Amino acid sequence: MDSTIFITGATGLFGGALIEHYLTWERDTKIMALVRAESKEAAINRLYSQLKSTPTFTYQLELEAAKRLKVIHGDFTKPDLNLSTPYISRLQLSVTDIIHSGASVDFGLPVREARTINVEGTKNVLDFALQCRKLNAFLHVSTGHVAGKRAGLIKENEIGVEQGFLNSYEQTKAESELLVHTYMTRLPITIHRLTTIIGDYTTGYIRQFGFFHNSIRLLSKGLIPFLAGDRNGHLALIPTEYPVQAVHYLHRNNFKPGTTYHICCGPERSFTLEVFLHETVNHLSKRCNKGSLAAPEIISQEEFEKRIDDSRNVRLTAIMKALGTFIGHLTLPKVFDQTNARRDLAESGIEAPPVQSYYYKVLDECVKRGR
């Protein structure tokens, strides 16, 4: 396959896993990874230290990377990706596919800063794509959390900002999707909304610690006595391998420009909030030898706020404030429509595994590396 993929977000959780997958399953594909750093050498070191930290990046893959992976020292938040005009022109003559997975995932970032990365950065990559002479596909990696404060059924073909958001990440990712739609008549674009990736299915390995893993650490220490939420709401957790395989298949085997996909597990393969908390504290109690560890009480938002105000507990207030940029979603349960994803993945055999088939391995990894 005569293909040259240009990828952003290569040092992120998903971008790094994609690079590993494409190197494994495509023999001739070249990958050009845009990496932000102080120097070219620092960019190379940053990407390779990330790739080599995973147990699945074998010596054979390292040899493949040496032949087919090129690190480009640039920055997609800057005009022309912070590359020289001659260099960017050469890139645009060779790039056949673009995967834009770069984004800020800092929930607490001020909106203006998040917008610079997630919206203006996306525009820079789209404008770069417009001049790529051989472009076959532009994959925009998004998140199911663009639904913001909506609850209930979230359809793949819906996007808006009127519902409001709990943090700057989901707001600016929604704004970036709206921007991407304005380019769909000029570029072959698909949008892939991923839900929360918690770790590798096979090993439980956690490629990047995030909000979810930090919450597990707090649970393991008994520092979350109560939560506001819907006990019957489902948590859309997925392992790393599923979205990587799904995106690759949709890219290479069933590419349909103009389509948005929810890459998630569905209620039938997920935990409800109540079951999730019960299973988590039970497993942590055994793993950490904490027999007295109890599941947080699930209460209403009003009761949650009242208890925090009444407690006058500085530590508890600080913990809940830190969780506040995302924890509100537990009171806004969502079911992600997968009409497009199920239709276009139907012949692939690729589907999300039940969360209980790998979750405990992720928990063990979280505990081990949290010490």
| pLDDT (0 to 100) of residue 320 | 81
Contacts of 310 (CB under 8 A, 6+ apart): none
Q: Where are the alpha helices (DSSP H) in the chain?
A: 13-25, 40-52, 59-68, 85-94, 111-115, 121-130, 168-182, 211-220, 241-252, 273-287, 301-311, 314-327, 339-345, 359-369
- Between 12-16, 128-132, 199-203, 220-224, the lowest mean confidence (pLDDT) is in 220-224
| Token couple for 294 | 């109890």
pLDDT in tens, 115-138: 999 999 999 999 999 999 999 999
In terms of DSSP bridges, do strands 237-239 and 30-35 run parallel, antiparallel, or are they unpaired? unpaired
Do 148 and 165 form a contact (C-beta atoms < 8 A)?
yes
Integer Cα distance of 119 and 128 in angstroms = 14
Do 143 and 171 form a contact (C-beta atoms < 8 A)?
no
Structural domains of the chain ordered from first start: 4-209+236-269+334-354 (3.40.50.720), 211-230+271-331 (no CATH)
pLDDT exceeds cutoff 70 at 290:
no
Torsion region of 148: left, alpha or beta (phi above 0 gives left; psi -120 to 50 gives alpha): left
pLDDT exceeds cutoff 80 at 281:
yes
| pLDDT (0 to 100) of residue 313 | 84
Integer Cα distance of 115 and 77 in angstroms = 10
Region 180-188: mean pLDDT is: 98
Region 20-27: mean pLDDT is: 96
pLDDT grade, residue 16 (50/70/90)?
very high
- Angle (nearest 5°) at CA 176 between 170 and 177: 90
- 211-237 residues labelled b (16+ CB within 10 A) or e (exposed): bbbebbeebbeeebebbbbbeebbbbb
- 118-154 residues labelled b (16+ CB within 10 A) or e (exposed): bbbbbbbbbebbeebeebebbbbbbbbbbbbebeeeb
pLDDT exceeds cutoff 90 at 222:
no
| pLDDT (0 to 100) of residue 106 | 87
- pLDDT, greater one: 310 or 263: 263
pLDDT exceeds cutoff 80 at 292:
no
pLDDT in tens, 229-271: 999 999 999 999 999 999 999 999 999 999 999 999 999 999 9
